[in-house]
């Protein structure tokens, strides 16, 4: 029960449970109209977020995409800052100028409201990273049919820059399935086309994610150029909060890790307690941010329009 | 520029100086290693290597995005977009990322990048290599846009763009690329309009090739023209123009632009707001016809603004109302 694997998985479970609880709190805030915005939740991607950041170093950088909350949290950003940003508070991560999709911080540089809009940034940023440091481009399978995915893969391969392209393939792009968006099979196949290493893993299994990230990061860190990792996950919420279409109950990465832990002898009750504690933490975070933090100040808008030139 | 550099040479000199002074400066674009089609980057790869002068495939969207990523990572990218027209392909990266990131991040990140582009018809190159779109860029909050009209001011503008922590689009007038012609008040700030010639009857605001053309034609007029060269398209800096209009009471704006009035109407609106009670006549706006730039020589010649357009506008402003009615 106290072997190394169990301990490691328990730590992952705790983290994934926190990520989930945060998104559950956001969903709750959206449902009762206490949180504004066009909220695209990352539920279903917890194993990818937890597994990826487990293998990153402080100087590595990550570009997130359309469902960015969990990436920022897994990247170490204080959840209170993220929640305050979603709530439009002055104390938010970006003083309320970003909101849900456009969050920006240090290791996780930014999300985006434009599908595919950050992939090429990860290529340019990688071109000036110090040797051994990498940049990860996170994107969904909806972005793979956009030209910039191909332009970016091609450019990264030509420039031989340390970019890990990480596709969270949840099988859905907005309201339609992957089959309706492309005649091409797996995203992983594009690796071969551009001559870069590529594998696919079960993105609901955190151990598989860690192993996949490790395997693909090795050549990238070694300076051999980019690599592609396709993680198959489920989109557990609709495209955005408030919509009612396509969501999955299958493929929950938390149920997967809990089944594994129970198989290793961990009590279901203990895991359930963790989940309950975290859900309570998320609700308390939402409530206290809404109640205690002041709204963002319009008087500051002009001052954020341009960066001031050095005098 | 007493040595007589042309506009492209002046830009290249300033770019080379920026690369020597700051190793974070990286040039990105199609065929930049070989110097590009207009020799802008010629010799830079020999001096600074192909890590800092980076060729790209033809993919304006993603190499502009790569520039944004470089800027966020602490680099100082110089993006050669080659033609104003090609910015349409990269516009999401320019408008949604480069221009907005300082604001969206609440000041956490700025995007110090320089975007080079040329604009202008008269080449018979057709509708995809001739547009002046900079009035449109000027309507995007967060971008800065400079349109210098002489080699000396181009050199100063490149240096000013690198010194600025924001994304700066540099627009080179295609007609002036290989021109060595200097202008009065070269050496002024590139961030403000400048008076090319003082006058008392009409304020005439121009930019690029039209500043040179206007300087020639107003000499022979019996109207005293105060000629102002715009230089900066965003953020608009119109104090000098408004102060001039307060004296002359009349304003004509002449500007090559694909969307007629995109820039000149914006300027006119600002002048009406600030100086309406000083005006003795409506502001005259001289702007390109509202069609795509045509390819055939006869059509393109008709499309181009010329000396007569400027002269007629100025004359119209000083023609007494009674005469106009009689005519």
Q: Which residues of B touch A307 (CB under 8 A)?
A: 102, 107, 110, 112, 165-166
CA distances from A106 to A41, A111, B54, B234 (A): 21, 12, 26, 29
Is the CB of residue B106 less than 8 Å away from at least one CB of chain A?
A: yes
Task: Name the residue with tokens 């050549």.
Answer: A219
In which band, very low, low, confident or very high, does the pLDDT at B113 lie, cut at 50, 70 and 90? Answer: very high
What's residue B326's pLDDT? 58
pLDDT tens-digit readout, A267-299: 999 999 999 999 999 999 999 999 999 999 998
* Residues of the domain holding B260: 196-326
R_g over Cα of chain A: 19
In a domain, B190, yes or no: no
In a domain, A37, yes or no: yes
What's residue B1's pLDDT? 41
- Does one domain contain both B84 and B134? yes
* Residues of the domain holding A280: 4-291
Give the separation between CA B76 and CA B165, rounded to whole angstroms.
9
In a domain, A140, yes or no: yes
What would the DSSP string read from start to end of A204-235?
Answer: T-HHHHHHHHHHHHHHHHTTS--EEEEEE---
In a domain, B64, yes or no: yes
> Can you read off the two tokens belonging to residue A29?
């805030």
**CATH code of residue B132:** 3.40.50.970
Give the separation between CA A12 and CA A257, rounded to whole angstroms.
8
- Does one domain contain both B69 and B213? no
The mean pLDDT of B33-42, rounded to a whole number, is 95
- φ, ψ for residue A265, nearest 5 deg: 100, 5
Instruction: Please tell me the least confidently modeled range out of A50-59, A88-97, A165-174, B295-304.
Output: A165-174
What part of A 18-77 touches B (C-beta under 8 Å)?
A: 61, 63
In a domain, B186, yes or no: no
- pLDDT reading at B327 higher than 80: no
What's residue A177's pLDDT? 85
- Does one domain contain both B146 and B209? no
Q: What angle do CA A237, A243, A245 make, to 5 degrees?
A: 70
pLDDT tens-digit readout, A226-273: 999 999 999 888 888 888 776 777 899 999 999 999 999 999 999 999
Number of domains present in the structure of chain B: 2
**CATH code of residue A252:** 3.40.50.970
Q: What angle do CA A169, A170, A176 make, to 5 degrees?
A: 115
pLDDT tens-digit readout, A98-139: 999 999 999 999 999 999 999 999 999 999 999 999 999 999
What's residue A239's pLDDT? 85
- Does one domain contain both B40 and B165? yes
- Does one domain contain both B216 and B148? no
In which band, very low, low, confident or very high, does the pLDDT at B321 lie, cut at 50, 70 and 90? Answer: low
pLDDT tens-digit readout, B194-242: 999 999 999 999 999 999 999 999 998 999 999 999 999 999 999 999 9
- pLDDT reading at B323 higher than 70: no
pLDDT tens-digit readout, B136-192: 888 899 999 999 999 999 999 999 999 999 999 999 999 999 999 999 999 999 999
State yes or no: cis peptide before B235, omega within 30 of 0: yes
What's residue B322's pLDDT? 54
Answer for the pair A141, A131: CB distance below 8 angstroms, yes or no.
Answer: no
- Does one domain contain both B38 and B156? yes
Give the separation between CA B180 and CA B10, rounded to whole angstroms.
9
> Can you read off the two tokens belonging to residue B160?
């000013």
In a domain, A309, yes or no: no
Is the CB of residue A124 less than 8 Å away from at least one CB of chain B?
A: yes
As to burial, measured by CB atoms within 10 angstroms (0-12 exposed, 13-18 middle, 19+ buried), residue A168 is: buried
- pLDDT reading at B75 higher than 80: yes
Nearest to B66 among A117, A155, A301 (CB): A155
Alpha-carbon gap: A127 to the closest alpha carbon of chain B (Å): 7
DSSP state of B95: I
What's residue B4's pLDDT? 86
What part of B 226-265 touches A (C-beta under 8 Å)?
A: 235
In a domain, A104, yes or no: yes
What would the DSSP string read from start to end of B106-119?
Answer: TTS-----EEEEEE
Nearest to A125 among B63, B72, B166 (CB): B72
- Does one domain contain both B110 and B222? no
Residue of A307, A308, A311 best to disrupt the B interface, most CBs of B under 10 A? A307
- Does one domain contain both B40 and B137? yes
pLDDT tens-digit readout, A8-48: 999 999 999 999 999 999 999 999 999 998 999 999 999 99
pLDDT tens-digit readout, B87-108: 999 999 999 999 999 999 999 9
The chain-wide mean pLDDT, for chain B, equals 95
Give the separation between CA B204 and CA B284, rounded to whole angstroms.
9
What part of A 186-245 touches B (C-beta under 8 Å)?
A: none
Give the separation between CA A161 and CA A120, rounded to whole angstroms.
12
What's residue A300's pLDDT? 84
Nearest to B66 among A92, A123, A129 (CB): A123
Nearest to B57 among A128, A154, A301 (CB): A154
Give the separation between CA A119 and CA A157, rounded to whole angstroms.
14
- Does one domain contain both B129 and B66? yes
**CATH code of residue B246:** 3.40.50.920
CA A112 to chain centre: 12
Number of domains present in the structure of chain A: 1
DSSP state of A27: H
The chain-wide mean pLDDT, for chain A, equals 95
The mean pLDDT of B294-313, rounded to a whole number, is 96
The mean pLDDT of A218-225, rounded to a whole number, is 98
A279's enclosing H/E stretch is helix A268-292
In a domain, A311, yes or no: no
Q: What chain B residue is nearest to A152 in terms of C-alpha separation? A: B62
- Does one domain contain both B144 and B221? no
CA-CA-CA-CA torsion sign (B18, B164, B70, A142): negative
- φ, ψ for residue B274, nearest 5 deg: -95, -25
Task: Name the residue with tokens 């420039």.
Answer: A159
What's residue A311's pLDDT? 62
In a domain, A87, yes or no: yes
In a domain, B2, yes or no: no
pTM of this structure: 0.95
Residues 6+ apart with CB under 8 A from A1: A264, A265, A266
Q: Do A127 and B26 touch (CB under 8 A)?
A: yes
- pLDDT reading at A203 higher than 90: yes
- pLDDT reading at B324 higher than 80: no
In a domain, B245, yes or no: yes
């Amino acid at each position: 029960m106290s072997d190394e694997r169990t301990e490691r998985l328990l730590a992952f479970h705790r983290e994934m449970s926190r990520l989930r609880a945060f998104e559950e709190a956001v969903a709750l805030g959206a449902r009762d109209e206490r949180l504004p915005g066009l909220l695209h939740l990352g539920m279903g991607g917890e194993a990818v977020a937890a597994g990826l950041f487990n293998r990153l170093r402080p100087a590595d950088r990550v570009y997130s995409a359309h469902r960015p909350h969990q990436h920022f949290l897994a990247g170490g950003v204080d959840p209170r800052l993220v929640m305050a940003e979603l709530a439009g508070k002055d104390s938010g991560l970006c003083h309320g100028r970003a909101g849900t999709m456009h969050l920006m911080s240090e290791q996780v540089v930014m999300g985006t409201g434009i599908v595919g809009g950050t992939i090429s940034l990860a290529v340019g940023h990688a071109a000036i990273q110090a040797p051994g440091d990498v940049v990860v481009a996170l994107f969904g399978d909806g972005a793979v049919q956009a030209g910039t995915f191909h332009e970016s893969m091609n450019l990264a391969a030509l420039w031989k820059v340390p970019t890990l392209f990480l596709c969270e393939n949840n099988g859905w792009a907005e309201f339609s399935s992957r089959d309706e968006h492309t005649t091409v099979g797996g995203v992983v196949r594009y690796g071969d086309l551009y001559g870069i290493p590529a594998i696919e893993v079960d993105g609901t299994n955190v151990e598989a994610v860690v192993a996949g990230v490790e395997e693909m990061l090795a050549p990238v860190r070694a300076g051999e150029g980019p690599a592609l990792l396709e993680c198959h996950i489920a989109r557990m919420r609709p495209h955005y909060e408030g919509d009612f279409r396509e969501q999955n109950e299958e493929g929950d990465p938390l149920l997967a890790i809990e089944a594994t832990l129970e198989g290793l002898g961990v009590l279901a009750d203990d895991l359930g307690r963790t989940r309950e504690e975290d859900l309570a933490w998320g609700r308390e975070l939402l409530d206290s941010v809404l109640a205690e933090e002041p709204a963002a100040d319009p008087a500051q808008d002009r001052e954020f329009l341009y960066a001031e030139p050095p005098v | 520029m007493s040595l007589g550099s042309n506009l492209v040479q002046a830009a290249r000199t300033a770019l080379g100086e920026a690369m020597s002074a700051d190793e974070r400066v990286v040039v990105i674009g199609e065929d930049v290693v070989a110097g590009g089609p207009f020799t802008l980057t010629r010799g830079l790869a020999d001096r600074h290597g192909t890590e800092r002068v980076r060729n790209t495939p033809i993919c304006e969207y993603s190499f502009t995005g790569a520039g944004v990523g470089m800027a966020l990572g602490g680099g100082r990218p110089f993006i050669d977009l080659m033609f104003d027209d090609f910015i349409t392909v990269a516009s999401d990266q320019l408008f949604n990322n480069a221009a907005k990131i300082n604001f969206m991040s609440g000041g956490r990140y700025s995007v110090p990048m320089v975007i080079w582009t040329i604009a202008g018809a008269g080449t018979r190159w057709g509708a995809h290599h001739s547009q002046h779109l900079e009035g449109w860029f000027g309507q995007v909050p967060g971008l800065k846009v400079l349109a210098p009209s002489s080699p000396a001011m181009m050199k100063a503008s490149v240096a000013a763009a690198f010194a600025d922590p924001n994304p700066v689009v540099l627009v080179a007038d295609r007609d002036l690329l290989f021109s060595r012609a200097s202008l009065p008040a070269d050496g002024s700030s590139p961030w403000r309009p400048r008076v090319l010639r003082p006058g008392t009857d009409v304020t005439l605001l121009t930019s690029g090739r039209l500043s040179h053309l206007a300087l020639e034609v107003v000499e022979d007029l019996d109207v005293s023209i105060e000629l102002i060269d715009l230089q900066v398209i965003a953020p608009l800096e119109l104090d000098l123009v408004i102060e001039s209009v307060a004296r002359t009471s009349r304003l004509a704006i002449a500007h090559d632009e694909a969307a007629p009035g995109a820039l000149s109407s914006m300027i006119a609106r600002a002048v009406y707001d600030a100086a309406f009670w000083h005006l003795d006549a409506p502001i005259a706006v001289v702007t390109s016809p509202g069609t795509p730039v045509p390819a055939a020589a006869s059509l393109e010649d008709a499309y181009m603004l010329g000396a007569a357009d400027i002269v007629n506008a100025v004359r119209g402003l000083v023609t007494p109302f009674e005469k106009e009615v009689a005519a």
